[in-house]
Amino acid sequence: MTQNPKVLIVGGVAGGANAATRLRRLNENAEIIVLERGRYVSFANCGLPYHIGGEIVDRSKLLQHTPDTLRNRFVLNVRTQHEVLRIDRKAKTVEVFDIQNKKSYWESYDYLILSTGASPLKPPVPGLDLPGVFSLRDVPDMDRIIDWIADKKPTTAAVVGGGFIGLEMVEQLHRRNISCTIFESNPQILMPLDSEMVAPLQDEIRKHGVQIQLNDGVTVIDPSENGSLTVRTRGGASKRVDLVIWSIGVRPETKLAKEAGLEIGETGGVKVSDTLQTSDPSIYAVGDCIEVLHGILGKPAFIPLAGPANRQGRIAADNICGIRSRYSGTIGTAIVRAFSLTAACTGANEKLLKRNNIPCEMIHLHPMSHASYYPGAAQLAVKVMYHTETGRILGAQAVGADGVDKRIDILATAIQAGMIIDDLAELELCYAPPFGSAKDPINMAGMVGQNIRARRISVSQWSDVATLSANVQLLDVRDVSEFQHGSIPHAVNIPLNDLRLRIGELSKEKEILVFCASGQRSYNACRILTQSGFTCRNLSGAYKTWSATSKQG
C-alpha cells in the first residue's frame, strides 16, 4: 500500500461517493479525485420517482452532496462532466474528456476505483427513441419526465416492466392523475417474489384502476396523432398512451473495464474478489457495474442495489488503506410500496432454489402486524424458506399494509447470521400492542419450522392442490359461514370445534389435507387427527394463499 496514495474514482453516487469519503476519513493526506461524467456526483436515485409524484416536494433534498460540499468537508477533488474514456493499466493513467471545455487530458493514479454503475436495458425495440419515451436512472431523466408532464399534461401512460422502479413509477404517476397500464413480459410482476406472494399486490394495483398486461412483452412503440404513442405487444395487443416509462431492468456499465482488459464475470459485471479488487490489483470496482457472489447460492450474480453499493465503496477504501475488509456477498434484500401495500424480500425465492436443486421447505403465514385487539392491526402474508436438511434460512418474502419492513429486516439479519429456522422461535423481540404481538410473526415462523422439522406436522403447498390424487380428502375446518362463502373444490367442511365429535365421518384409508383460513386452526386439527390415527397434512398458508393464487387465473 502506498502511504499517501493518489486514488481516482470513476463515478459517484452510492459506491463512488462512499469510497471517496471513507478514503478521506482513513487517510487525511491521500489525493482523491472523483471523475463523474454527469452533472451530479451524489444524489438519491432511489428517491427520484417520489419527486416525480410530488411526495418529495423539494428537488434539492435529492442532491446529497455537491462538488463544493465534498471539497469543503472532505477535501475531495470532484470533477463533474468529466468522462473517463480509457485506462492505460501499464502506465497507470486514464484518459479524461472534459465535456464542458471539450478537451482531453491524462490523469495518473496509484489506485483506481470503478463505480460506473448500470444503464437501462434497451433491446432493439422500434420507437424507444421517440419523444415521450423515458427511462429513469438519474436526475436529468427525472427532470425530463417532470418537464414532459408539465408541458404535455398526459392523462395515460404505459409502464413497461413491473419491477421495483416500474411499480414506484405507477404509484407516483397515479398520484398525478395519470392512468397507467403495466406491460410485463413475465407471468407476474415483481419477479424476485414468488407468484402466490405477488397475487395480493396485483389485486391491490388493479383496485386503483391500473391495468396489468402479463406474459406480453412490448415489441414496438409507434408515433400516433397529436403526439401520443401506440404501444404494441408480442401477443398483438396495442395501447394508445401519452407517455411511456421503459423499465425492464438494467445492465452493468462495463465498457471501460472491458476495453482495459479487466476480467468480466459470467453475469456480465466486472469480476471482483471479496476485497473488491478486479483482475488488476491496482483497480477496484464497486456498485452496479460488478458481479457479486449470491449470498445464498454461492454463485456469481448481478444484483444492483443501493445498500450493497454503499458497503462496497467502504470496503474498497478500507483495502486501499491497508485495512483487510471482505464483501461476503449480496442476498438481495429489497422493498417496494404499491399504494396501500408493501412487498419485500430477502435471500432466494422458491423459483431460484428449485432451479438450483436446493432442497427447501416453505412456510406460509398470515399473522397480524401487531396485537389484533389494538386498533389498526393489518394482516400480513409471510413466506419463509429454509434448507430441508440443515434448517438454514434461505429466503423470505412478506406483503402487507404494515410491519413488512420490520419482519424482512429481521429475517435478512437472520440469514446474514447463518441462523436456522428453529432459532426464530427463540428471538426476543420488542412487544407492546401498537407495535407487535407477544408471539411475533417471526417467532411463529420459527415455531412452525420446529414442528415440521420435529415431524409433529407435515405440510403441503398451495400448488399441490391442483395435482392431488383420488386418495386424498380435502378437509375445511373453518366455520360453516366461512365455508359457504367459498372453499377449495371437493372439500368437506367440519369446523374445528366439531372435529372430535364428528371424527368418525372421516376415513383412515385416505390421507387428509386440512386447511382453514390461515393455517392455525388446521394445525390444531392435524394434531387431533394425527393422535387419533389419521394420516394428514396441513395446507401451508391455507385458504388465503390458495384463493389468492386461484383468483389470478
What the block records as the C-alpha cell of 341 is 401495500
Collapsing DSSP to helix, strand or coil, 174 comes out as helix
Cα separation, 505 vs 499, in Å, equals 9
Cα separation, 418 vs 450, in Å, equals 17
For residue 69, what are the contacts with CB-CB under 8 A and spacing of at least 6? none
Collapsing DSSP to helix, strand or coil, 206 comes out as helix
Give the residues across from 364 on adjacent strands. 383
351-387 as b/e, with b when 16 or more CB fall inside 10 Å? Answer: ebbeeeeeebbbbbbbbbbbbeeeeebebbbbbbbbb
Cα separation, 139 vs 380, in Å, equals 35
Q: What angle do CA 456, 461, 465 make, to 5 degrees?
A: 120
Collapsing DSSP to helix, strand or coil, 154 comes out as coil
Cα separation, 421 vs 450, in Å, equals 7
Collapsing DSSP to helix, strand or coil, 447 comes out as helix
For residue 335, what are the contacts with CB-CB under 8 A and spacing of at least 6? 342, 343, 344, 345, 404, 405, 408
Residue 471's Cβ-count burial label (10 Å; 0-12, 13-18, 19+) is exposed
Beta strand residue intervals within 115-192, DSSP E: 118-120, 133-134, 156-160, 179-183
For residue 458, what are the contacts with CB-CB under 8 A and spacing of at least 6? 452, 526, 536, 537, 538
Residue 250's closest CA among 201, 309, 299?
A: 309
Please identify which of the residues 46, 345, 360, 526 carries the catalytic annotation: 46
Do residues 364 and 380 make contact, with C-beta atoms less than 8 angstroms apart? no
Give the residues across from 444 on adjacent strands. none
Cα separation, 311 vs 304, in Å, equals 13
Residue 420's closest CA among 399, 439, 445?
A: 445
- Say whether 180 is catalytic: no
Catalogue the active-site residues.
46
